[in-house]
Structure formats: structure tokens, C-alpha cells
Amino acid sequence: MVVGDASLDIDLLVIGAGPGGYVAAIRAAQLGQSVLIVDKEAWGGVCLNRGCIPSKALISAAHTYEHAQHADSMGISVENVKVDFAKVQAWKNSIVAKQTGGVSGLLKGNKVQMFQGEAMFINEHEARVFNDAEAPRYRFKNCIIATGSRPIELKAFPFGGRIISSTEALNLPEIPKSLVVIGGGYIGVELGQTYAKFGTKVTILEGSDHVLPGFEKEFTKLVARNLDKVGVEVHTEAMAQSCTKTDNDVTVTFTVKGEEKQVTADYVLVTVGRRPNTDGELGLDLIGLKMTDRGLIEVDNQGRTSIPHIFAIGDIVPGMALAHKASYEAKVAAEVIAGHNSVVDYKAIPAVVFSDPEIAGVGLSETEAKEKGINVAVGKFPYAANGRANSLNAGQGFVKLVADKETGTLLGGQIVGPEASNLIGEIALGVEMGANLEDIALTIHAHPTLTEMIMDAAEGALGHPIHVLGGK
């Protein structure tokens, strides 16, 4: 109990318990720090509760449903395949509960103090944490801010009712008959494609000239093809203008190259990006942290802010908003606080889209390498030439490796195809280690496996492909 309003002492205050915050708390505790972690919602943050984990559970369920419907080519016929969406949601929620319970157990097991509530800075060394029951003050030696992000809300499409964010899209009580998705980035494509597989009529409005604009067209065109196969109507170079709502549906007015069009659906899902959680009652303005025009906290290569004993990580600092980036930054910040000379190095951060087919990339793309003036060697290998891929009835896609032609050093790689999310790990390790093409080509890969495609792509880049003609 707090006597009067005296401050309790703590080595480290961590604000936010997502994949950045909880990892930072655990690592700091392992290094001998006394740690208090604060979060107003469930342990695990957006990723475990309203993002990565629940979305992948729904995606897996949609894949299973689709496979059951289309297994005739393998000699398997399944009649009257049905979806009990209430059970799907219950299963998804059980996965979330297991993961968040695991995080809670890890925090407790590492003797991290946990406070369910909010935090507000009083000054550079003190903060009040509070909920409906209590409001103690803590004096901290160091602090890590890991408050994450939230969906961006468009003025013409305010959230509420039948205009939803990804949070509500993951928790719909029923499969909607129709859905308009504003934004064809990774969240919009993943959720739009998932609901389309469940039978929803989906329309995607994307402002650029192709969906998933963060990836090159040679990869995204396979996703676009599969979107079309499940009946998704994609409008590129489209701008959503306004909407009219009723109790039962929403009509969206949008333009495509100056031509005005309309589409009506049960729901409108807005997925145009995420906003850092640096506003509100946290009190960052009170302590005067230096920030960017976009509301991101400026940090150095150790995660340190303009106030030396306060650190920031994850979606609230510049760079890609990725859970694994936040976890990586968390370990660096925790180690720096404990006296280690750790620094961040973003040489190999994988990016993955759990679309169908999946897309994954790490390091430099061919375009990026050429823009840097590097003479590149490129190796591509198709899923269609891989025995394991064909035995999985998964012959769509390819692996691409990019290397420095003079030295053979691996610069990056991209994959589009089934299990790309799992395969990218080998390429990421190669980029991080500074491996060259021969290192990969001479590594004996088990047969038959999908990983052989990475070896085959390396052999192609070296000019001696075995399992395809040419190699480019």
C-alpha cells in the first residue's frame, strides 16, 4: 500500500505490454533490474489480442475451409462443407487466451511486477499508474515506453456501427454477406481475402496502382490473381470519398481515375495504416520528449530518447511497425539499461504478408540494390519445379535471391508462395551473417522440402542451376 502520496522506487518502468514491452520487461528482469510493467488492456498488446495472432487464426480457418471445398484434384471429395462461425470465433479466442496467458505467466515467472491500468508521467523520474481501484506513484531510474499504435480513422469514415477497424473485423459475430475494404495494404488484403474465402463478397479500394504497394508487382500479381479467384473486386488508383449509412448497410462513394462510382456493403473496413499511441494522457508533452511531425518519438541507435534515461521502442519510433522489430528493440533497450553496449542493427528485418499466396522479404530487393548502384546477381526458382511443393498441391510462386555479383554476398531475398513466412527465416539468417551464395548453395538441404528452393535459387544466381533451365 502507498503511504500518503510517497513514490515507490523501481529500477525500470515499462509502459505497454505488447511484443515490445513485455519482452523488454522480461529481459531487464533477467539482467537484475526491478521492473514494473503497466498496460490498461490484456497482456500481449495489440499483436496477441487484436492483431497478429487472432488474424492468423482466422486466416488458417479460412484456408482449411477452402481446402476442404477444393480437394478433388487430390482424389478427396467432401460434401456439404459448412462453417460454424461462432465456433471459429471461439477457437480463435481460445488461441488468444492461451498466448496472453503465456505472456502473463512469463512475466510472473521472471518476477516482473504487473499493473493493469494506465500510466501518466509526473516528471522525468516519476509516473502515476492508476485504475479504478488505486493510483500509486513510482519513482524510476529508467523507463521504456512501448505503447504501440492504433488504426487510423478517416474523417469521412468515422469508426462506429458498420464502419469498422481491423479490431472489429476480427470479432464479427457473423460472416458478412458483403464487405468494402478501404486500403489494399497487408491488413486489408489479409482480412479481405479471409472473409472472401468464407463467402463474403469483398470489394477492395486501393489508392496506388496495385495491392500491397510495399512489394514489387512481380510478387503482388500472384496475390491479385488469387483475390480474383475468390471473387474479390479490386479497384486500384481508387479514392474513397464519402459514405451514407443505414441500420443495415453502408454505401461508399469513390473515384477511379476521376470517375465516380458507388458500392454498398454490410460493413466498411478501414485499413489505411496505424497511428502511434503517443498522445492522450501519457504526459509526453509534460516531460518534453523530442518527437517527429508524425507523432513518433525520436530515438538513437540504442532506443534512447531526448531524455537519456527514457527509452522508446516499437510502433511509436521511426521504422516499420512490426511486432518482431519491437521485440528486437526491446532487448537492445533492456540491455543498454543494464549496462551492456548494445545497439540496433536493422540489416535483416523480415516483412511478411499472410495473403494467399504468402509474400515475405528481407534485406534489399533487386530494385533497391540497383538504386544503390550495386551490380547484382539474381537467382529465381519456381515452386512448380520443387517436388515437395507439388506434393502439397502448392506449385504457385517463386523464391528470389539478390546478391552482390562481385563478392557473392547475399543482400536480400523475397518469396511469394505457400509457407513463405516460414521460409524467409533462412534468408534472413544469411543476410544477417553476411553469407554468400556459395554458403547457401553448398549447404545440404533435406529432400524433399520447400527449403531446397533457396539452395536452387542460389545455384541459379551462381550460374549453374540444376533443377531449372537458365536460372533467371
Residue 356 among known ligand-binding residues: no
The answer to the question of whether 185 is labelled as a binding residue is yes
Radius of gyration (C-alpha) of the chain in whole angstroms: 24
Q: Is 152 marked within a binding site?
A: no
Is 190 flagged in the annotation as binding?
yes
Consult the annotation and say whether 22 binds a ligand: no
Annotated binding residue 147:
yes
Active site residue 210: no
Sign of the torsion formed by the C-alpha atoms of 74, 75, 78 and 79 = positive
148 labelled binding-site residue: yes
Q: Is 7 annotated as a binding residue?
A: no
Check whether 184 is labelled as a binding-site residue: yes
Q: Which residue has the cell 544466381?
A: 461
**315 annotated ligand-binding residue:** yes
- Annotated binding residue 188: yes
Ligand-binding annotation for 290, yes or no, is: no
CB contact at 8 A, 400 and 413? yes
Distance, in Å, from the CA atom of 369 to the CA atom of 363, rounded to the nearest integer, reads 9
The identity of residue 182, as a single letter, is: I
**Active-site residue among 445, 447, 464, 467?**
447
Query: What residues are designated binding site for NAD(+)?
Result: 183-190, 206, 273
Per the annotation, binding residues for FAD are 56, 147-149, 315
Residues serving a catalytic function are 447
Q: Which residues are annotated as a binding site?
A: 56, 147-149, 183-190, 206, 273, 315
